[in-house]
Amino acid sequence: MALLADPYGNRLVAGTHAIDPDKRVDYLLEVCDPCQTIWYTVNGERVSDFYTPRYFDPVRNDVSRFSFTGELTYPLHILPGGYISYIDSLDGGLYQLRGGETQPQLIADQVTIATTTTALRTIVDGDPRTPGLSEAVVHPAEGAPAAPFSGDAVRFASEQWASRSAEAVLASPRDRL
């Protein structure tokens, strides 16, 4: 998922600071990390939950979906075992805020970031303090819109389209074929 949203690992999204709403920061686009401990199934395979574009909304509302499964219930929500990373506009440092914590951790200072060609996501993932995943911390979403038979649904829709197309061709006057 992350490679689709940010193939180079450096995409930033401006937003309100998760703890201090009067402050602005640039979040590293890490679509699965705030909810990385949640999974749902697609064709019998576990896939990670991910946040939606509404995740960075400046205000909370009750009608938006902040993650695919709905486990993230408000903007900038971080589940236990998850995290978000951002660049602070005041000091240029790369910080990480983990679920359940109130103080961010400095991952890399401005000098480190300026003197490397390493992608920001690689810096974050390489830091030993970044929460990892194991079977002990991941669990299925409560009300996940799982798609256990999505392959069958696609096949059925394709067969229906093919059947209707064949009927249309057979019903056409012979002089038009």
Three-class DSSP category at 110? helix
Q: Which of 9-13, 21-25, 33-37, 60-64 has the lowest mean pLDDT?
A: 60-64
Euclidean distance between CA atoms 4 and 114, whole angstroms: 25
Q: Which of 29, 63, 33 is nearest to 50 (CA)?
A: 33
Rounded distance between C-alpha atoms, residue 120 and residue 6, angstroms: 11
Q: Where are the domains of the chain?
A: 2-146
- Give the whole-angstrom CA distance, residue 51 versus residue 68: 6
* Banded pLDDT at 43 (limits 50, 70, 90): confident
**pLDDT over 60 (residue 157):** no
Alpha carbon distances (Å) from 53 to 29, 133, 147: 10, 24, 21
pTM tops 0.85 = no
Least confident window among 56-60, 123-127, 138-142, 165-169? 165-169
- Tell me the average pLDDT of the chain: 86
What are 65-107's pLDDT values in tens digits?
Answer: 999 999 999 999 999 999 999 999 999 999 999 999 999 999 9
Structure-model confidence comparison of residues 15 and 155, the more confident one: 15
Residue 139 — pLDDT band, cuts 50, 70, 90? very high
Q: Report the percent of the chain where pLDDT is more than 70.
A: 77
